[in-house]
Structure formats: C-alpha cells, structure tokens
Structure 1
C-alpha cells in the first residue's frame, strides 16, 4: 500500500454538493427532516455532515449531526453479547453492536421537537462517552444529519453467507454463527431505523480495496488529535476492517439502487461528478 501522509484530513466537499444535500433534505416536507449519509469507512461522511450543518447554520437554521457510531453498545454490553452469542461480538461495528433503542429514541425525539441529548462514543477508548457530557438539544431542529458506514443496507441472502469472505471469518467464524447472527439482526432490527430517514445519500468508493487505506488514515488522524492516547496499530486495523468487509461489500452492491442520491468517489475521495 502507498505511504500515508503524517497529517491527514478529508478534503471538504464542493459548496455546490453541500448545498444540494441541504436543499434536498429541506424539500422532504418534514418539519425536522433526517438526512442520512451512508458511506464506507473513511469516505468523508463526517466531513459532509459537518458541512451541511455549517451551511444550515449560515442560513439561520438549527441543525445537528449524529453518527450511528455514537450509538454503539458499551464495552460491557458487547462483552455480555460476546459471552452469550459469539466472541466476535465484543468488537464494535457489525450489525448487532449498536444500541438501537437509543438510536431510535434520539431520531424520534429530533423529529418530534422534544428535548434530547446527542450520544457520543470515544473510539480510542472504545467506550461510550459518559452521558453527562452529551450535548443537550432544546427546541426543534430544522435538520438532523445522521451518518454511518452502512446506513440503509439490506441483509444478504442466506446462501451468500456459506463461504467465509476473509481470514477473520475463516479463522474465527468457521461455522458461520457470527455472520449469520449479524445478518439476521440486520434483517430484523435495522429496517426500523432505516425507515426514519427522509433522504439517503450514499458516498460510493471505487471498491472495498481502498477502505483499509482510508481507515488507516482516519486512525492516524484520531491519534494525532489526541496525543498520548493509544489507538490501533496497522496490523490491528487490517484485522479490524475485516469485521466490516462483508456488510461493506453488500452496501456497495445494493445502495446505488436504494439511495436517493449516489456520489461516486475516486480513490482520493474526490467526487467524480460535481
């Protein structure tokens, strides 16, 4: 793989694209629309979400952003799940490792104009931030931007689960229990969350092969932003990305036909069309 620059940040998206995203959400007809931005790891979801919120603020609107990553189960909750179902569920990421009642309650409160708090998750600590530190939102928002790496993705057919996809599945999920459980959870529990979206945008990378590099750059940025705190090594990250690979490839196959807008990206995260 190519060398990674010491300093890294995802380039900002063009103002025209950000304007289109905001206008598309506001045209939904909802008092507080939910704009979902889906995209694989490192694709620029958080950057686009922040720009949309910034533009909304510049127009005098109240907007906020939330990531599905901020609704991960706590480490203790994931460990209990790992003990009960499969050891791989101790690792955050795949379907089943999110606190869906928390996510649903947050989106519903935003939609109804009720006061609520924005959950936050500390990825370097691999733990949910204490609730006392969550931002409180009082009064109705004009927009909530919800971003996440597999938003809107449907479950795979059972036949697709038979063959292990990577070394993680071959070595740690040889009997397929973990991937079948995650896929069933995706089929049963996540559609209720997807139905909360008023608009779904998909940042489409050229393929899954770019994701390990993008996620490594993201990991470096996290560590540079918090000197003295430990994160993942390159080897640990290469294994970590394998937890996401199956659903990521499913997203690449299905979301272009599901999303309201698809933004194709090149290997440097640049949109191929303005």
Structure 2
C-alpha cells in the first residue's frame, strides 16, 4: 500500500506531506466504503461533492486505486464534468432557452442519460465487458471523441461519481431564486429565466439522478473566496499543461485562444455561474451528507466526519 501511495503522490505532483492526508483522511474513508460494500450484494454508487478546487478529483483517484488494489474491490470512477454537453449542444440550449447555457457547469449543461448509461453498464458488466467512460476536454471546452475515452474492463462493485454540484438541492422558494447573488445574475439574467431553469433541472432529472447514491461525501470549502482563488490556480495549471509558448525547438499544441484558457477576469465571471449553488450547498449540505471532510484554506483535509444511515 505504501508504494501505491508514493506512486500516486509523485504522479499527481503532490508534496510528500500528502501521505499524512492519506493516513488521516483517505484511508479511513476507503475503509468506510469497503464496509458499506461488504454489507450489500449489489454494486454501490458514491457521490463526491466539492466546490471547484477542493481536491475531489485527487480524493477520488486515491480512493479508486486503494479500493481496487488493496481492498480488492473493483472500483470505477468518473466526473460529472465529463458528462458536459458538447459545445454544439450547449450552443443550441443557449439559443433556445437562455444565452448563459453556453457556459458549461450548471445543471442543464450535462448529458445525464449518458451518465446513467455508464452507471448501468458498469453495474451489469461481466468479467471481460468493456465500458467506455466519457471524457471532456476543458482546454477546448468540448467532449473528446468517443475513440479517445478511457475504458473500464469488467464490472464495478463501487462506482465513484465526483462533481461540484453532485448531490446539490434545489432552491427552497421563488423569492430566493429571484434575489440575484452576483452581477452576472443581476445584469445577464434580469428576469431569472436562466436560474429558474437551472433550479427546475435540480428538482427534476438531477434530483432523480442523485437519488441513486448509496452515500454522499462532501468536501466542504471554507469560503466562496477560497473557491475563486483555487479555480484561478486550476486554470493556471491547465495553461501550463496544455500550452507552451512557442520558441525555438519547442512544440506547442495551439494558441491560448484556441485552447480557451481563461484570463483572471474571465474566471471571475465563470465562477459567478456556479456561485448560487455553491453557496447554498455550503450552507445546507453538511447537515445531510453521509460524510463531511472540512477543507482548510491551505487545501488540508480534516478527518472524515461520517454519519451512519438509519
């Protein structure tokens, strides 16, 4: 197990001190998920919620590898982000419903039927069955061609689904919806059409999709301000990974414009699309999540606070 942890830390360019996080937070959580699976014959589905930059992708990776390789439980994972509608599909929604639907992220910009199909295939798969897992290229703001999707072989006893709005609840009242939370809502959704449509999605198909979770894990960010700072850092990492400034002897994939890398101002506007649901989830989800992990401003994880379902 130690070698697996070291390998993952190196692979993800994490500090050596992340081994302490694995010991304090991730291993107890993996043990909890192992116990959940042992108590049930059918595959289990685990939702992992966390605002942008909380570290949910890294947490999911470690859980998947530890459960698969050391608890001997076949575990598959994918992100709600990988279910984003294609850019062409979002352009159509922007034209037919509201211009803000061009921006990926909020409920109404995912292909949940695709996600359900993946879950159903993973649950029903046999030993040699291959299930293609959707993948979205954020640097180009479009889905990868299916030929480039990763493939999971066999059946999965645990399915991990992570995403920023995983498990989110709809707003409680029309009055709450109609009060803008930021300048984007105030100036670009004056009549509330976009946010009412987003909320309707949460009440309907998203609520039904999330209801199949056997457990909901929440990574709780300390504040919305931290989320903005972390998302800015994510974009910088995306820039570093996807694009290298042209110079002699260096290959580069495309211009920053072609790769849709966002400026600081664009990131701030982008986050406004997420703000309403993020703030609401930070307020109400800790009381109902099956496990809450507090995330510090320095990205440190607290011990998992696990609630046993009745």
The answer to whether TM tops 0.5 is: yes
Distance in 1 of aligned mates of 2:42 and 2:142: 33
State the partner residue of 2:228.
Answer: 212
Contact 1:153 1:254 in 2 (8 A): no
CA distance in 2, matches of 1:87, 1:130: 25
Question: 1:48 aligned to 2:78?
Answer: no
Change (3 A) 1:133 1:171: same
Specify the alignment match of 1:21 in structure 2. 29
| Pick aligned residue for 2:90 from 57, 63, 78 | 78
SS in 2 for 1:55: helix
Matches within 5 A, 1:51-62: 51-59=62-70, 60-62=72-74
- Residue 34 of structure 1 is matched in structure 2 by 45
Q: Report deviation, 1:9.
A: 6.1
SS in 1 for 2:105: coil
Query: For each residue in 1:100-138, what CA deviation from the matched residue of structure 2 results, as whole angstroms up to 9, or x when unmatched?
Result: 101111122222236421000000100001001112223
Match of residue 198, structure 2, among 179, 182, 194: 182
* Candidates 254, 268, 274, aligned match of 1:244: 274
What do you get for the CA RMSD once the two structures are aligned?
A: 1.8
Preserved contact between residue 110 and residue 140 of structure 1 (Cα < 8 Å): yes
TM-score for the superposition, normalised by structure 1: 0.92
Please tell me whether residue 129 in structure 1 is matched to residue 159 in structure 2: no
Alignment map for 1:159-178 (pairs within 5 Å): 159-178=175-194
Are the equivalent residues in 1 in contact too, given 2:24–2:303 (CA < 8 A)?
no
Structure 1 contact 94–244 (Cα < 8 Å) conserved: yes
- 1:22-79 Cα shifts (integer Å, max 9, x gaps): 2222323254222221100000000100111121233143322200000000000001
Name which of 207, 211, 215 aligns with 1:199: 215
Q: How far apart, in 2, do the equivalents of 1:184 and 1:30 lie?
A: 34
Give the alignment's TM-score, normalised by structure 2. Answer: 0.82
Aligned to 1:108: 120
Q: CA deviation at 1:171?
A: 1.1
Question: Any conservation in 2 of the 1:169–1:176 contact (CA below 8 Å)?
Answer: yes
Structure 1 gaps, min length 5: 1-7
Q: Which has the larger radius of gyration?
A: 2
Q: 1 CA distance for matches of 2:27 and 2:94? A: 43
2:217, 2:289 within 8 Å by CA — same for their partners in 1?
yes
Moved more, 107-116 or 127-136: 107-116
Q: Matched residues in 1 for 2:302 and 2:52: separation?
A: 18
